């Protein structure tokens, strides 16, 4: 064989799998269809969206909050072209970083589209049409996902757009219609709301970020309405999107079964993503994806039905998260060399990078109620924190859910400043099966946002929060 491991796809799952396999002494190749490495997350997902979120948040603060800190400036103006340019620079630096890691770990990079010839042979079709075949003992499929677009949505990539196009607009929409109030819709809706767009969310479910704890969605909705005047339409099913030439018109059915119409100059479709397994020629090796493009793998090694072929990240079941894909990449690499790694899927956190941020790990309160599990709940508001009052970030709360009998932490849910970083304490506590009282007895520095975790844990322990 030419290689011990061939990885198809260079996103967070793919390149991390490649690096870990190389660390373990394997000869590794990675195939990427684009000219740059990093996949969706680095190029048109996690990293560029966070760059725009940060830029737009700076503008929002300059416009609305500098004066209260005694900072006097003329009315600030934004330059969208510069914002987009900075975002592109951030992405470029990260691209170069991944390329450096490939060289450092002696991983051979093939630019082109990878597809199976047989279980050990992968064809690389380059952009100029030439082909090359490489052989590997093991193959890892890490090709990620792409935005879901339904036929009636009439996607044109100009006015009816997905997250990919939303990262490169040349103007700020006047009226942005956002189909889907999940993570992607909330984040990109926030970017343009901060820059002056009127944002209207149209969501099939009954609330924002419907896969997370219900308290978080309700709080985020309040904040976005208060900060930006965002409008929300829940339990609403979109039936058609049309570009009339003058405007975008969205037709939908509300909870009463009535037909309703929304109009704007741009429409962002953010109804989820589907596995990108097109053109892999999986039939050549006997693998059949489901209707969403997902590949079935076993639970302990993520191996497909074909020995020696593995799949990770967005192409298999579970949350479509970069850090989930990374953990799976490490697991497969270590499995290949005979180690016995594991992943606790219940403890992979989810984050929404609005401001305030939203983060969650473990069981939601809705899940505990549905399962009949006896639980305790403790909450603590950011407005009672000295640090939050000092910084002006008083929106938000921490919720800790614990087993009613054993006090073991079952879930932690945060909306507030720095929630994305704070959730790591919940993950750590739950990995070590800590109790709410354990968290409450740990000394947390004062004044910090993290004190809200301590206080919520004390509230869950025996309703003994000190500062509320």
Sign for the pseudo-dihedral over CA of 344, 345, 346, 350: positive
Question: How many Å apart are CA 306 and CA 283, to the nearest integer?
Answer: 11
Of 96, 110, 114, 106, the C-alpha closest to 47 is 96
CA 209 to chain centre: 11
Length of the chain: 468
Question: How many Å apart are CA 168 and CA 56, to the nearest integer?
Answer: 14
Question: How many Å apart are CA 461 and CA 42, to the nearest integer?
Answer: 41
The answer to whether the beta carbons of residues 7 and 31 sit under 8 Å apart is yes
Provide the token pair at 375: 């639980």
Which positions are catalytic? 446
DSSP-assigned states of every residue in 427-468: HHHHHTT-BHHHHHHS---SS-TTHHHHHHHHHHHHS--S--
Helices (H), 364-432: 365-371, 386-391, 419-431
* Contacts of residue 399, Cβ cutoff 8 Å, sequence gap at least 6: 213, 215, 365, 377, 378, 379, 411, 412, 413, 414, 456
DSSP code of residue 130:
-
DSSP-assigned states of every residue in 279-346: TS-GGGGT----TT------TTT-B-SSTTEEE-GGGSSS---HHHHHHHHHHHHHHHTT------GG
Of 464, 412, 461, the C-alpha closest to 435 is 461
* Contacts of residue 316, Cβ cutoff 8 Å, sequence gap at least 6: 275, 294, 295, 296, 297, 302, 328
- Give the chain's radius of gyration (CA, Å): 23
Of 112, 97, 91, 87, the C-alpha closest to 32 is 112
Helices (H), 65-213: 80-104, 163-166, 183-194
């Amino acid at each position: 064989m030419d290689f011990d491991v061939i990885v198809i796809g260079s996103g967070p799952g793919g390149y991390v799998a490649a690096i870990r396999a190389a660390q373990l002494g394997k000869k590794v190749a990675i195939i990427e269809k684009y000219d740059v490495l990093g996949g969706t997350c680095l190029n048109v997902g996690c990293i560029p969206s966070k760059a725009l979120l940060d830029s737009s948040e700076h503008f929002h603060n300059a416009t609305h909050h500098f004066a209260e800190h005694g900072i006097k400036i003329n009315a600030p103006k934004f330059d969208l072209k510069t914002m987009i340019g900075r975002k592109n620079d951030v992405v470029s630096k990260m691209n170069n970083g991944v390329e450096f890691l490939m060289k450092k770990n002696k991983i051979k990079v093939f630019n082109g589209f990878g597809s199976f010839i047989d279980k050990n042979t992968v064809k690389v079709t380059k952009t100029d049409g030439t082909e090359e075949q490489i052989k590997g003992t093991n193959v890892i499929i890490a090709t990620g996902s792409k935005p879901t677009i339904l036929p009636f949505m009439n996607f044109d990539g100009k006015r009816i757009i997905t997250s990919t196009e939303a990262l490169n607009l040349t103007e700020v929409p006047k009226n942005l219609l956002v189909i889907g109030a999940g993570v992607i819709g909330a984040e990109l809706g926030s970017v343009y709301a901060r820059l002056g767009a009127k944002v209207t969310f149209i969501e099939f479910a009954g609330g924002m970020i419907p896969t997370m704890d219900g308290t978080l969605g309700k709080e985020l909705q309040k904040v976005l309405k208060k900060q930006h005047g965002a409008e929300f339409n829940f339990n609403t099913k979109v039936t058609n999107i049309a570009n009339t030439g003058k405007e975008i018109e969205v037709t939908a059915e509300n909870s009463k079964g009535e037909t309703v119409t929304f109009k704007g100059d741009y429409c962002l479709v953010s109804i989820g993503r589907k596995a990108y397994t097109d053109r892999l020629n999986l039939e050549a090796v006997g693998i059949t994806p489901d209707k969403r493009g997902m590949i079935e793998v076993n639970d302990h090694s993520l191996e497909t039905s074909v020995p020696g072929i593995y799949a990770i990240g967005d192409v298999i079941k579970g949350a479509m998260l970069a850090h989930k894909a990374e953990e799976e990449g490490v697991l497969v690499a270590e499995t290949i060399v005979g180690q016995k790694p594991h992943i606790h899927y219940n403890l992979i956190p989810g984050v929404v990078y609005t401001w305030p941020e939203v983060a969650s790990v473990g069981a939601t309160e809705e899940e505990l109620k549905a399962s009949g599990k006896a639980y305790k709940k403790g909450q603590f508001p950011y407005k009672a924190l000295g640090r939050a009052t000092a910084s002006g970030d008083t929106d938000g709360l921490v919720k800790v859910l614990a087993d009613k009998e054993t006090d073991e932490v079952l879930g932690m849910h945060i909306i507030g400043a720095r929630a994305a970083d704070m959730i790591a304490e919940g993950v750590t506590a739950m990995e070590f099966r800590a109790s709410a009282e354990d968290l409450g007895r740990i000394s947390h520095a004062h004044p910090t946002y993290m004190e809200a975790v301590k206080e919520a844990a004390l509230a869950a322990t025996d309703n003994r929060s000190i500062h509320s």
